[in-house]
Amino acid sequence: MPQEQKIEAVVDAILADYAHGREIDRIEPFRHPDKDAVADILDKLRRLMYPGYFREKNYNIYNAKHNLSVLIEDVMFNLSRQISLAIGDEEKGQALSLAFLNRIPQVRALLQTDLQAAFDGDPAAKSMEEIICSYPGLYAITVYRLAHELYTLGVPMLPRMMTEYAHSATGIDIHPGATIGDYFFIDHGTGIVIGETTVIGQRVKIYQGVTLGGLSTRGGQSLRGIKRHPTISDDVTIYANASILGGDTVIGKGCVIGSSAFITKSVEPGTKVTIQNQELQFKTKTE
């Protein structure tokens, strides 16, 4: 059989497989949000959050209003399109996009506190500019703050696409439904997981590998809408690889959770939790 006929046979077989009517069989183009478009929107939104840091070229200060207008029109058009695809309503998509853009100043106010927390909490930080340009923790928080606004507006799909894009870029997984107070600092960050119903207070600092998760997902969709993830009160520090699980678990104000701690029940305010009796053993080559 010629190669062309072999390829045609494969095409026919796959097309026949598409005809089963399953969720994975949808082939209509442009009926759902586009990942590349979402990534492009995030890039432009970051330029809105931090003007002067992520522009394609230097702008004359006297053109600031014109340049901002062009950027916002671009974001408005593309975001409206993606929201419309997600909800199937173009007019409502435009309204939700405008409502989101009107929240930009309050998002930037929160990000200023996160930036300050990162600078104050990391002795390795040489400047705030360094944090904005290079820290994965601040990038993940920035994307979360933006996605959370869309989440609270009831926009489906897009918020999760945004935070998963940040997850793939940073290794930090923050669900857009989580509630996070101001002055939030992620140090290093790789491997952090923050679940959908997590509540985090003000001035909280967490390190790499921390999991704020659920005790079990066996219930599947029956658990939707139920608080499954912990509450972290103000002024808590959680060190590397600690796991705090369960919707009824509350970490009290001012607690310090040590590295690799595994917590499934509430902790009183001001408590320091550490793991004891883990001894290191050293053997020389002569032993």
**Beta bridge partner(s), residue 231:** 199, 250
Amino acid 60: pLDDT: 53
Amino acid 129: pLDDT: 95
- Strands laid side by side in the 272-273 sheet: 185-187, 205-207, 237-238, 256-257, 272-273
List the chain residues with pLDDT less than 70. 29-30, 55-62, 217-219, 222-223, 286-287
Q: What whole-number distance in Å separates Cα of residue 85 and Cα of residue 138? A: 29
Domains along the sequence of the chain with CATH? 9-172 (1.10.3130.10), 178-276 (2.160.10.10)
Q: What whole-number distance in Å separates Cα of residue 204 and Cα of residue 189? A: 14
- Report in angstroms the alpha-carbon separations of 195 from 86, 93, 108, 209, 213: 23, 27, 23, 14, 5
